[in-house]
Amino acid sequence: MLSTFIRVILIYIIVLIVMRIMGKREIGQLQPFELVVAIMIADLGTIPMANLGIPITDGIIPILGLLLMHILISILNMKSIKIREILCGKPRILIYRGKIDEKALKKERFTLNELQERLRSVNIINIGDVEYAILETSGQITVIQKPDKRNVTPKDLNIMPEYEGLPYDLVVDGKVMEQNLKILGKDYNWLKKEVGKFKMKPEEALIVTIDGANQIFCQKKSEN
């Protein structure tokens, strides 16, 4: 029982490290070769966990081999456009200038219902509002709406909005983010004074943030 528990923890740590080395993109939008690696890692990780008769190295070594293969393919993918096209394919335009490309749908084995479903997932209800719809290599749909259907931007109204900058966390669950205070050129005394305006100490705050306009949001931790 203890041996199984230790195996699970070790395999979990190895898989977690491998996925972190592979990069953040694997968590979101997988390319075909990345999806294959992710599936194989999942299968290889379960083998030594489920069968105590198999040495744990029989699971770890193949996983590390897949990591090496992934790094090699990623390098080739960056170096060669041709290899990139072979491994990942090319984006396909499904709607061109407001007209659905039936040939493109057939090549990608896409039905109209699937296209409409994908459009709804990006808040496009009426297919007639679409100027271009591009099926990316990751399987995501990129949509460009017709000019008269796009959201109005400040530029359309000749308005120049003020610079917003990045918001920073100053306190998270009662822990002071010292590094962010340094970036902003502030110190704990300044933080204590600002949080004091909300009638609490920094350590009592659930979260404290500041945006580019120096607006502070502060919420106190629950008593429970």
- Tens of pLDDT along 153-188? 777 778 887 777 788 999 999 999 999 999 999 999
Return the pLDDT at 213.
81
- Give the relative orientation of helices 32-50 and 57-79 as an angle to the nearest 10 degrees: 170
Token code pair at residue 145:
């709406």
Helix (H/G/I), strand (E/B), else coil: 54: coil
**Band of the pLDDT at 101, cuts 50, 70, 90?**
very high
Distance, C-alpha 175 to centroid of its chain? 26
If phi over 0 gives left and psi between -120 and 50 gives alpha, with beta otherwise, what is residue 30?
beta
What are the pLDDT digits (tens) for 145-154? 998 888 877 7
Q: Are 123 and 117 in contact (CB under 8 A)?
A: no
Task: Say what percent of the chain tops pLDDT 70.
Answer: 84
Q: Among the CATH numbers 3.30.240.20, 3.40.50.300, 3.10.450.50, 1.10.3470.10, which is that of 92-149?
A: 3.30.240.20
What are the pLDDT digits (tens) for 194-210? 999 999 999 999 999 99
pTM of the model: 0.60
At the fourth CATH level, the homologous superfamily of domain 168-220 is: bsu07140 like domains (3.30.240.20)
Helix (H/G/I), strand (E/B), else coil: 22: helix
Q: What is the largest CA-CA distance in the chain?
A: 71
Residues of the chain with CATH 3.30.240.20: 92-149, 168-220
Token code pair at residue 172:
């998270």
Q: Are 105 and 111 in contact (CB under 8 A)?
A: yes
